[in-house]
């Protein structure tokens, strides 16, 4: 075999034709050993990070790096190697995201050679370390002013995060899943999040009582609630609460109480909800957790609203909105605004309702919060219905229904009662045929069309 195979980064291009000679360096590949081919096709283990042809990669794991590629390749190698590989059509560059990816056949072949070299496990460990570090770094940012930017970054790295999650079901897998549940929540990856959390919780020591396990239980319970699986949600959240109390995790206790209160609220048990959320609020205030305080105030405001105490509801929601604006939690801002709009609608203040709803929907569109957009479309539908514009309302309900179906996100029981009553009133006002036609038109709208329709028609 020619000596070129050790130096040429392109010998692995042979995958499609199963040729015996590299068309770039003309090395004879028929007699190449797995180790030689692996050296020529070294990859990082990531589908989104380009390979290097050298043996000089930095082997030490670094978990909080801003650039995952630089963890595996020395910085000075990256541009030169990637540029060469792009020129040879072995790596593609996305002009929009400015990211690189291996062509699929090259990736598959390179992976095979890497595994044959015996270094696959070490590379995957480094890869998992990088994305575990990224997830841990991102977690607190998802409730702060950089929320939108971090969500986009995690979107971009989603494939890498999935690969990292699948590598070894151990304590680090639990830590990774616990750190990502807010991302899965924000991006409505409910099924994926529940599955990965369940696997991580099963793989970790079931007898262990730890901060990471309690957090994963809370995340799993929260995602179960969002999908209407209230039995699983309660079991998971109560286990998390017991564990947090045992290990003395006050923040975890408050989070579990807040979520259990939300669950009771959804089931119409407003007294229990008020007690649970009120308990969470007290702890959040004591420990100085402002995002938690804002969240529990929001939930408490909804409880007051359900109990027809609009003065207390408005007070709690105003404080929640103020805190969210101060800490830059845009998702929280949007939720508080929409809920304030519901209060205004209940009091027949249609002008204020429209203002609250419009700002909330604009934020949700900006940050890509699909779950919140479904709520906003339903809220606008309720506004139009109250104003007697039942055909418009029916279109928006149809659009929201499609979105909920896609997200596998049913309305909670307490909200379903209000929703069904409003829909029935619209059907009676329009007549079955006109109502069905309008609903169908809404279901056929794209998401962006539905958003624009709600904002434009409400002006």
CATH number, residue 393:
1.25.40.10
Q: Which domain-ending residue is among 78, 96, 119? A: 119
Regarding whether 10 and 32 lie in a shared domain, the answer is yes
User: Coil, strand or helix: which one is 56?
Assistant: coil
Q: What is the pLDDT of residue 74?
A: 59
Q: What is the pLDDT of residue 207?
A: 56
- pLDDT beyond 50 at 71: no
Residue 77's domain comprises 4-119
- Give mean pLDDT, residues 180-203: 92
Whether 390 is covered by a domain: the verdict is: yes
Convert the pLDDT of each residue in 301-316 to its tens digit. 999 999 999 999 999 9
Higher pLDDT, 13 or 356: 356
Higher pLDDT, 35 or 55: 35
- pLDDT beyond 90 at 246: yes
- pLDDT beyond 90 at 20: no
For residue 391, what are the contacts with CB-CB under 8 A and spacing of at least 6?
430, 434, 438
Beta-bridge mates of residue 444: none
- pLDDT band of residue 172 (cuts 50, 70, 90) is confident
Listed ranges 23-37, 52-66, 72-86, 222-236; the one with the highest mean pLDDT = 222-236
Helices (H), 99-229: 104-117, 120-138, 147-156, 158-165, 171-186, 190-203, 211-226
Whether 353 is covered by a domain: the verdict is: yes
Mean pLDDT over the full length of the chain? 83
Going from the C-alpha of 327 to that of each of 186, 288, 289, 330, 335, the distances in angstroms are: 17, 13, 11, 9, 15
Regarding whether 447 and 412 lie in a shared domain, the answer is yes
Q: Which domain-ending residue is among 119, 135, 170? A: 119
Regarding whether 366 and 305 lie in a shared domain, the answer is no
- pLDDT beyond 60 at 63: no
Going from the C-alpha of 167 to that of each of 48, 73, 126, 406, the distances in angstroms are: 17, 21, 11, 29
Convert the pLDDT of each residue in 329-375 to its tens digit. 999 999 999 999 999 999 999 999 999 999 999 999 999 899 999 99
- Give mean pLDDT, residues 92-100: 77
Higher pLDDT, 123 or 59: 123
Q: What is the pLDDT of residue 76?
A: 56
Q: How far apart are CA 286 and CA 297, in angstroms?
A: 14
Regarding whether 394 and 359 lie in a shared domain, the answer is yes
- pLDDT band of residue 206 (cuts 50, 70, 90) is low
- pLDDT beyond 80 at 324: yes
Q: What is the pLDDT of residue 36?
A: 44
> Which stretch of 2-6, 102-106, 159-163, 189-193 has the lowest confidence by average pLDDT?
2-6
Regarding whether 313 and 341 lie in a shared domain, the answer is no
> Could you write out the DSSP letters of every residue in 324-386?
HHHHT-HHHHHHHHHHHHHHHHHTT-HHHHHHHHHHHHHHHHHHT-HHHHHHHHHHHHHHHHH
Q: Kind of pairing, strands 91-94 and 99-102?
A: antiparallel
Whether 363 is covered by a domain: the verdict is: yes
Regarding whether 337 and 356 lie in a shared domain, the answer is yes
Q: What is the pLDDT of residue 166?
A: 86
């Amino acid at each position: 075999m020619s000596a070129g195979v050790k130096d040429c980064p392109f010998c692995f291009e042979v995958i499609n034709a199963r040729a015996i000679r590299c068309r770039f360096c003309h090395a004879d590949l028929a007699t190449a050993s797995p180790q030689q081919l692996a050296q020529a096709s070294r990859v990082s283990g990531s589908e989104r990070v380009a390979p290097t042809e050298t043996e000089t990669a930095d082997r030490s794991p670094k978990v909080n790096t801003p650039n995952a590629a630089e963890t595996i390749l020395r910085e000075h190698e990256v541009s030169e190697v990637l540029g060469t590989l792009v020129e040879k059509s072995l790596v593609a560059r996305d002009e929009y995201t400015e990211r690189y990816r291996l062509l699929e056949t090259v990736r598959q072949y390179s992976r095979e050679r890497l595994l044959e070299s015996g270094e696959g496990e070490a590379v995957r460990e480094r890869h998992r370390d990088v994305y575990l570090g990224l997830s841990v770094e991102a977690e607190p940012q998802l409730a702060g002013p950089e929320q939108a930017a971090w969500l986009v970054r995690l979107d971009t790295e989603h494939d890498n995060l999935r690969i990292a999650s699948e590598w070894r079901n151990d304590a680090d897998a639990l830590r990774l899943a616990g750190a990502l549940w807010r991302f899965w929540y924000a991006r409505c990856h409910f099924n994926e999040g529940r599955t990965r959390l369940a696997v991580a919780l099963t793989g970790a020591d079931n007898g262990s009582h730890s901060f990471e396990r309690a957090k994963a239980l809370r995340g799993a319970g929260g995602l179960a609630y969002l999908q209407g699986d209230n039995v699983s949600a309660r079991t998971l959240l109560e286990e998390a609460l017991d564990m947090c109390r045992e290990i003395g995790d006050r923040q975890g206790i408050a989070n579990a109480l807040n979520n259990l209160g939300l669950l009771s609220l959804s089931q119409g048990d407003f007294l229990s909800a008020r007690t649970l959320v009120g308990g969470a609020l007290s702890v959040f205030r004591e420990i100085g957790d402002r995002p938690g305080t804002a969240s529990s105030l929001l939930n408490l405001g909804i409880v007051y609203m359900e109990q027809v105490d609009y003065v207390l509801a408005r007070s709690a929601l105003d404080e929640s909105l103020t805190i969210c604006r101060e800490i830059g939690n845009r998702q929280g801002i949007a939720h508080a605004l929409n809920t304030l709009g519901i209060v205004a609608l209940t009091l027949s203040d249609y002008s204020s309702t429209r203002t609250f709803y419009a700002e909330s929907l604009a934020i949700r569109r900006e940050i890509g919060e699909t779950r919140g957009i479904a709520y906003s479309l339903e809220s606008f539908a309720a506004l139009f219905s109250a104003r007697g514009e039942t055909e418009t309302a029916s279109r928006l309900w149809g659009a929201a229904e499609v979105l909920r179906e896609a997200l596998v996100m049913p309305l909670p029981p307490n909200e379903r009662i209000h929703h069904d009553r409003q829909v029935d009133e619209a059907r009676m006002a329009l007549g079955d045929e006109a109502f069905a036609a309008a609903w169908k038109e809404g279901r056929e709208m794209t998401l962006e069309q539905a958003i624009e329709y709600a904002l434009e028609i409400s002006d």
